[in-house]
Structure 1
Amino acid sequence: DARPTAAVLDAIRKSAAVILAPSNPFVSIGPILQLKGVREALRRVKSRVAAISPIVGGKTIKGPADKMLRGLGMEVSPLGVARLYRDIVGLLVLDHADRSYVEPIERLGMRAIATDTIMTTPERAAALAKVVLQGLQV
């Protein structure tokens, strides 16, 4: 019965950028996308939506997303993640380790950038944020 507030949907519509963190697409991002109107609002601003792949080199840095993808018969890669988000994400950011997926992801109709996505320090996190925002042209 959960629903987003009108302010949430308005914020999505008016935002310069919406960034989906490298979180589990099923248990972290999925419940948000299931709220009535959220996925549709993101579709409308798709060119301003970026997602950072939680899959690096065929596994997650933290959490069970890789096992969940595999268990559901999906590809455990940034391409597998891109397929889940293809209707709402205009830019997928993936790790350098997965650079070979850039072209297949772009064939899905979204842009893709390979960079360092492992945020082990505040400086690396800031550098990733800069790449994402530049990719969205914000």
Structure 2
Amino acid sequence: MTRTVVLAGGVGGSKFTLGVREALGADADTTVVVNTGDDLWLSGVRLQPDVDSIVYALAGVNDTQRGWGRAGDSERVNEELQAWGAGWPWFTLGDLDLGTHLARTGWLRDGLTPTQVIERMQRRWPLGVRLLPMTDSEVDTHILLADGSRMHFQEWWTRHRAALEPAAFENPGIVDAVPAPGVVEAIAEADVVLLAPSNPVVSIGPILAVPGVREALQTTKANVVGVSGIIGGRVVRGMADVCLTAIGVETRADAVAAHYGARSAGGILDAWLIAEEDASLAPAVDALGIRAVVAPLWMTDAAASAAIVRAALDA
């Protein structure tokens, strides 16, 4: 049985993970390492947006219209929080979603680690994959703005829609963090590692910044294959272009491949899937020492996502 590891975060990561399960089957040996740089404390509860997005998507209970939260959720508790002047008025917590956060917070207060909490969460629904956080440490993403001020990533992303010019992205404490139990081992023992078409800066970036993860990718016997989230020079969803510009990377599929780098040159990629719209960039990707593979990359449904995964596995 093929052992597959996926690095993922955000809505793109959840759609891609659905495609992995569709392509490989629910009985496959699949481990998904999830970004926890988006995490935060709000109104006394611990939120893990990327973890929850992937759990809800795999469980089939996600809100596909909004792209986050639970389908059919209500917001009575959120309205009451706002009446008390608590929380963030621009960051909605649905009632069902809040139940997840309360359960998580209670388990954390009882002494469970994030890894143990996520393992417990997976008992509720047959997800068909094993989820691991990138680390058990709290390494929330903060944005250093061009004016010198700082704010939590969620405020910058959700409230300001990335309209405030960023100068840098920081994960305080990450230099002292360690990979969650099982992460390095899963990468070392994998037959293939897939980088989901998630935001390279704030979704995949924090995973790679955990000491030991990048080294594990560089030394694994597995092929490491990434999927571009840039199609035709534009981001598919979200504001990844703002993030890329801030770190000096152009919003192009070949530029993101160069950002990750070839394993043969100290980077992490062996192959890189680019969209049919970007076929002309294939020689530039190949010149980096990364095998370019051209394929349809629009994740319109689970079947389309599964086809992308199969193309990545063929690579």
**TM-score strictly above 0.5:** yes
**Shift of residue 47 of structure 1?**
5.8
Query: Residue 16 of structure 1 aligns with which residue?
Result: 191
**Shift of residue 6 of structure 1?**
4.6
Which of 181, 203, 207 matches 1:28? 203
Gap runs ≥5 in structure 1: none
The correspondence of residues 4-83 of structure 1 with structure 2, limited to 5 A, is 4-45=179-220, 48-83=223-258
Query: Residue 102 of structure 1 aligns with which residue?
Result: 282
**Shift of residue 72 of structure 1?**
3.2
Letter matched to residue 239 of structure 2: P
Query: Are the counterparts in 2 of residues 47 and 91 from structure 1 also a CA contact under 8 Å?
Result: no
CA distance in 1, matches of 2:203, 2:221: 20
CA distance in 1, matches of 2:291, 2:230: 17
**Shift of residue 2 of structure 1?**
2.7
Query: Residue 271 of structure 2 aligns with which residue?
Result: 91
Query: Residue 127 of structure 1 aligns with which residue?
Result: 307
- The structure where helix makes up a greater share of residues is 1
The total of aligned residue pairs comes to 135
CA distance in 2, matches of 1:131, 1:114: 9
Higher Cα Rg: structure 1 or 2? 2
Query: Are the counterparts in 2 of residues 42 and 88 from structure 1 also a CA contact under 8 Å?
Result: yes
- Deviations 1:13-63, CA, capped at 9 Å, x for gaps: 110111010000110000000011000110113761111011111111101
Is 1:113 the counterpart of 2:293 in the alignment?
A: yes
CA distance in 2, matches of 1:109, 1:35: 25
Following TM superposition, the consecutive aligned residue runs of length 4 or more in structure 1 with deviations greater than 4 angstroms are none
CA distance in 2, matches of 1:71, 1:57: 20
- Deviations 1:65-93, CA, capped at 9 Å, x for gaps: 11222333322101111111110010100
Q: What is the RMSD computed on CA atoms of the aligned residues?
A: 1.4
Query: Are the counterparts in 2 of residues 92 and 113 from structure 1 also a CA contact under 8 Å?
Result: yes
CA distance in 2, matches of 1:125, 1:5: 27
Letter matched to residue 210 of structure 2: L
Query: Are the counterparts in 2 of residues 50 and 91 from structure 1 also a CA contact under 8 Å?
Result: yes
Query: Residue 97 of structure 2 aligns with which residue?
Result: none
Query: Are the counterparts in 2 of residues 46 and 88 from structure 1 also a CA contact under 8 Å?
Result: no
CA distance in 1, matches of 2:205, 2:309: 22
1:71/1:35 CA distance change after superposition, 3 Å: closer
Between 68-77 and 93-102, report the one with greater CA deviation.
68-77
- Deviations 1:73-130, CA, capped at 9 Å, x for gaps: 3221011111111100101001100011111011001101011011101111111111
Letter matched to residue 101 of structure 1: L
TM-score, normalised with respect to structure 1:
0.92
CA distance in 1, matches of 2:224, 2:214: 11
CA distance in 2, matches of 1:47, 1:109: 17
CA distance in 2, matches of 1:56, 1:42: 25
TM-score, normalised with respect to structure 2:
0.41
Secondary structure (helix, strand or coil) at the match of 2:198 reads: coil
